[in-house]
């Protein structure tokens, strides 16, 4: 810290912001200091007259009091330091003049009334001037230029008077006055700097508070923007879901009918050329079905209606099935499809696991132009990890999270439908979360990727899994078909008749109830969405009520809206999603037919 102050600072005021704060501190005690100075002047005059009997001292006291009154009037006319039109520099210059005049008044006391041969006068005046100088430090200490204007005009005349009086004592007092002035100069400088640092700290705190307030306000505004964006995103997502559900339902109706007609057509006697064309039409129809099924899978995940049924299952049969299904697709692109056999047994929902792995494999084949696709299983402690490797385009690290978002695709700016809809990995992520398991990704752009699905390891015995194929006899099964779409109704009734089923049709609930007068169904096959805002669930309930029996029923729906899916699943009925392949419908009806036959057999045994 600097001990000797730069004297040039005695003439310069600090910058405006700091100066304004200094003037505010000086102003707090200004009135009290001026009144006190007038009171001390009167006390000095009384003491001087009582000691030396000189009444002329009162002219000095009166002059001093008039100066102080003028200072008070000037202060009253000045704006407050807290007002908007306060000029700190002008105010400081005015205070410097006032305190210089006040100091000059006390300096004049020494020049006019200090008597060299009278020690009482010397002692009285020296003590009063020293006391007033020390007291001034508490008043104008924050501003060094004002302090110096007072001390120079107050103490220097006293030093001159003492040195002029001669005598050892007076000269010693004069030298002491010089030392006193020097000490007060240093003390006042450091006091002013300490006050300035204190003010700077206050400014820093105020700035911090203001910045914090601004940041808080910006954070609140940002939060409001985020909340508004979230609301808009949720609205957009709901609108998207409604659109997808409506579009999916409307598209499923004709595709469902086309699939049923193709199923019936394939059983008719066709020439080779006709059979080839029929197969081509079926391939195109299956491609459209695949895209709609992808939308349906995503809708199920989005609706939260998927309830995993966890059990132990062997991974090898699933892997072989996927190999038979997807190896031809890989080979058609010139890719090698490799499967590493495994004996591992996992714990989980086999249908959901198969759906996840199928999506991963389909993606791997789609985005690999050369090389191979590999599926394998590894044991990692108490977990089994299913791995899907490819030598495709790879995924940049910054895209690892985004690829699991719906409709997000890499390497498909032209939106080639052969590369899917961008829902595969979103479905994978949703199904994995539904099962409470983890899917991880590692990739190097240009080298390939590996997706890993980690499942709990199981060593339980595996029950034999029966395959359901389109086999078995449906002849004699009476089906009541409730469908409001004429094209679907005609196609499905034709297909049922080719399978040897008895079939009655209805387009709404009332017609279905009317058919019961002359027809007793074994199974009800109803579309979910019927006319007049009625549903297949209502039709089944009314038919069961009319017959007084818990009649087997199947619900077919092309609806992918989340609420509709929840309602259908909550009914407990078997649910089929349009477009339903002929073999799938046959298998579902066969399971219901066997149930009916079992009930009839039980009744016959009881009657016998």
Q: What residue ranges do the domains of the chain occupy?
A: 7-166, 239-305+471-608, 308-456
Of the pLDDT bands very low, low, confident and very high (cuts 50, 70, 90), residue 92 is: confident
What does the alpha-carbon distance between residue 500 and residue 221 come to, in Å, rounded to a whole number?
69
* pLDDT band with cut points at 50, 70 and 90 for residue 413: very low
Residue 527 pLDDT greater than 60, yes or no: yes
Q: What is the mean pLDDT of residues 287-305?
A: 57
CB 289 within 8 A of CB 259: yes
Longest dimension (CA), the chain: 155
User: Can you tell me the distance from the alpha carbon of 172 to that of 162, in angstroms, rounded to the nearest whole number?
Assistant: 9
H/E run at residue 330: helix 315-332
**Is pLDDT at 13 greater than 70 in this prediction?**
yes
Question: How would residue 526 be classed by pLDDT, with cut points 50, 70 and 90?
Answer: very high
Tokens coding 371: 């090389």
With a cut of 60, say whether residue 95 has pLDDT above it. Answer: yes
Burial class (CB in 10 A: 0-12, 13-18, 19+), 329: middle
Average pLDDT score over residue span 315-321? 85
Tally the residues of the chain: 608
Q: Which of 261-265, 291-295, 442-446 is modeled with the greatest confidence?
A: 442-446
Query: Band of the pLDDT at 462, cuts 50, 70, 90?
Result: very low
pLDDT digits (tens, 9 = 90+) for 321-343: 888 888 888 888 888 888 888 88
The answer, yes or no, to whether residue 283 has pLDDT greater than 70, is no
| pLDDT for residue 489 is more than 90 | no
Of 162, 241, 176, nearest to 559 (Cα)?
A: 241
* Model pLDDT, residue 12: 73
Query: Quick check: 291 pLDDT over 80?
Result: no
Residue located via tokens 């709901």: 238
Highest mean pLDDT of the ranges 58-62, 296-300, 468-472: 58-62
d(CA 423, CA 355): 13
Q: What is the pLDDT of residue 373?
A: 92
How far CA 84 is from CA of 208, 228, 342, in Å, comes to: 23, 40, 85
pLDDT at 20 exceeding the cut of 60: yes
- Superfamily of domain 239-305+471-608, CATH level 4: Response regulator (3.40.50.2300)
Answer yes or no: same fold for 239-305+471-608 and 308-456: no
pLDDT level of residue 386 (50, 70, 90 thresholds): very high
Q: Comparing C-alpha atoms, which of 302, 311, 337, 323 is closest to residue 455?
A: 311
**Residue 311 or 259, more confident:** 311
Q: Which residues are within 8 A (CB) of 526 and not within 5 positions of it... i.e. 6 or more apart?
A: 481, 482, 483, 512, 536, 539, 540, 553, 554, 555, 556
Contact 556, 578 (CB under 8 A): yes
Whole-number pLDDT of residue 306: 59
316 Cβ partners below 8 Å, 6+ apart?
341, 342, 343
Mean of pLDDT values over 102-118: 84
First to last CA, the chain: 118
- Binned at pLDDT 50, 70 and 90, residue 480 comes out as very high
Distance CA(195)–CA(205), nearest Å, equals: 15
pLDDT-based confidence at 479, cuts 50/70/90?
A: very high
Tell how strand 372-380 and strand 336-339 pair up.
parallel
Q: Global pTM?
A: 0.37
145 neighbors 11 (Cβ within 8 angstroms):
yes
- pLDDT value at residue 415: 41
Which residues pair with residue 480 across a beta bridge? Answer: 504, 524
Is residue 487 classed as helix, strand or coil in its secondary structure? helix
In angstroms, the CA 518 to CA 504 distance is 10
Sort residue 472 into left (φ over 0), alpha (ψ -120 to 50) or beta: left
Per-residue burial over 199-227, b if 16 or more Cβ lie within 10 Å, else e, is beeeeeeeeeeeeeeeeeeeeeeeeeeee
Q: Distance between CA atoms of 149 and 67, rounded to whole angstroms?
A: 16
Nearest to 592 by CA among 543, 564, 555, 558: 555
Pairing type for strands 336-339 and 345-348 reads: unpaired
- Residue with more model confidence, 293 or 520: 520
**Both tokens assigned to 325:** 């299904």
- How does residue 422 score in pLDDT terms, banded at 50, 70 and 90? very low
Highest mean pLDDT among 14-28, 201-215, 399-413, 530-544: 530-544
What's the pLDDT tens digit per position in 32-89? 888 888 888 899 889 888 888 888 899 998 998 998 898 888 888 888 877 778 888 8
Lowest mean pLDDT among 338-342, 393-397, 461-465: 461-465
Task: Give yes or no for residue 499 having a pLDDT over 90.
Answer: no
User: What is the structure's pLDDT at 233?
Assistant: 75
Could you tell me what percent of the chain has a pLDDT over 90? 8
When pLDDT is cut at 50, 70 and 90, the band that residue 289 belongs to is low
308-456 is classed in which CATH architecture? 2-Layer Sandwich (3.30)
Q: How far is CA 107 from the centre of its chain?
A: 73
pLDDT at 304 > cutoff 60: no
Contact 583, 467 (CB under 8 A): no
* Three-class secondary structure of residue 451 per DSSP: strand
Q: Is residue 481's pLDDT more than 90?
A: yes
Q: Answer whether residue 507 shows pLDDT above 70.
A: yes
**Edge-to-edge strands, sheet with 553-557:** 502-506, 478-482, 523-527, 553-557, 574-577
Contact call for residues 568 and 557 (beta carbons, < 8 A): yes
């Amino acid at each position: 810290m600097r001990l000797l102050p730069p004297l040039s600072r005695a003439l310069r005021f600090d910058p405006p912001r700091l100066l304004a704060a200094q003037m505010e501190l000086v102003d707090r005690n200004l009135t009290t200091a001026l009144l006190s100075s007038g009171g001390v002047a009167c006390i000095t005059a009384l003491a001087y007259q009582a000691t030396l009997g000189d009444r002329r001292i009162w002219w000095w006291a009166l002059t001093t009091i008039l100066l102080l009154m003028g200072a008070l009037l000037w202060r009253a006319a000045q704006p407050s330091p807290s007002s908007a039109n306060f000029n700190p520099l002008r105010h400081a210059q005015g205070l410097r003049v006032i305190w210089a005049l006040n100091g000059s008044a006390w300096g004049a006391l020494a020049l006019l009334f200090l008597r060299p041969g009278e020690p009482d006068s010397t002692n009285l005046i020296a003590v009063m001037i020293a006391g007033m100088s020390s007291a001034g430090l508490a008043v104008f200490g924050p501003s060094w230029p004002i302090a110096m204007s007072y001390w120079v005009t107050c103490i220097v005349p006293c030093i001159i008077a003492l040195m002029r009086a001669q005598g050892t004592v007076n000269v010693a007092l004069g030298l002491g006055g010089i030392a006193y002035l020097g000490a007060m100069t240093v003390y006042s400088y450091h006091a002013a700097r300490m006050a300035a640092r204190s003010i700077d700290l206050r400014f820093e705190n105020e700035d911090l508070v203001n910045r914090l307030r601004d940041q808080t306000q910006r954070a609140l505004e940002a939060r409001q923007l985020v909340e508004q964006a979230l609301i808009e995103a949720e609205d957009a997502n709901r609108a998207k879901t409604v659109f997808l559900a409506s579009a999916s339902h409307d598209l499923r109706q004709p595709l469902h009918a086309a699939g049923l007609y193709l199923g019936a057509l394939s059983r008719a006697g066709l020439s080779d050329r006709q059979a080839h064309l029929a197969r081509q039409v079926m391939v195109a129809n299956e491609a459209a079905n695949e895209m709609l099924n992808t939308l349906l899978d995503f809708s199920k995940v989005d609706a939260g209606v998927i309830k995993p049924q966890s059990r132990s299952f062997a991974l090898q049969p699933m892997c072989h099935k996927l190999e038979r299904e997807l190896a031809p697709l890989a080979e058609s692109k010139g890719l090698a499809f490799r499967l590493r056999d495994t004996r591992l047994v996992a714990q989980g929902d086999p249908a959901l696991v198969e759906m996840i792995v199928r999506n991963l494999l389909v993606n791997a084949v789609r985005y690999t132009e050369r090389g191979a696709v590999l599926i394998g299983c590894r044991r990692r402690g108490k977990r089994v990890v299913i791995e899907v490797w490819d030598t495709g385009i790879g995924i940049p690290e910054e895209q690892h999270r985004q690829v699991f978002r719906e409709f997000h695709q890499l390497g498909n700016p032209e939106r080639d439908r052969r590369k899917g809809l961008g829902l595969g990995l979103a479905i994978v992520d949703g199904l994995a979360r539904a099962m409470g398991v983890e899917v991880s990704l590692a990739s190097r752009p240009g080298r390939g990727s590996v997706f890993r699905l980690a499942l709990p390891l199981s060593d339980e015995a595996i029950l034999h899994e029966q395959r359901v194929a389109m086999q078995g006899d449906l002849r004699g099964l009476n089906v009541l078909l409730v469908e409001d779409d004429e094209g679907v109704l005609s196609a499905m009734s034709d297909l049922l008749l080719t399978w040897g089923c008895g079939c009655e049709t209805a387009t709404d609930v009332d017609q279905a109830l009317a058919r019961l007068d002359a027809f007793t169904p074994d199974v009800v096959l109803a579309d979910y969405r019927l006319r007049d805002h009625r549903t297949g669930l209502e039709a089944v309930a009314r038919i069961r009520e009319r017959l007084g029996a818990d009649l087997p029923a199947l619900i077919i729906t092309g609806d992918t809206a989340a609420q509709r899916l929840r309602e259908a699943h909550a009914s407990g009925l078997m649910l089929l999603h349009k477009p339903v392949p002929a073999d799938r419908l046959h298998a579902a009806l066969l399971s219901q037919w066997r149930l009916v036959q079992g009930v009839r057999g039980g009744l016959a045994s009881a009657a016998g």
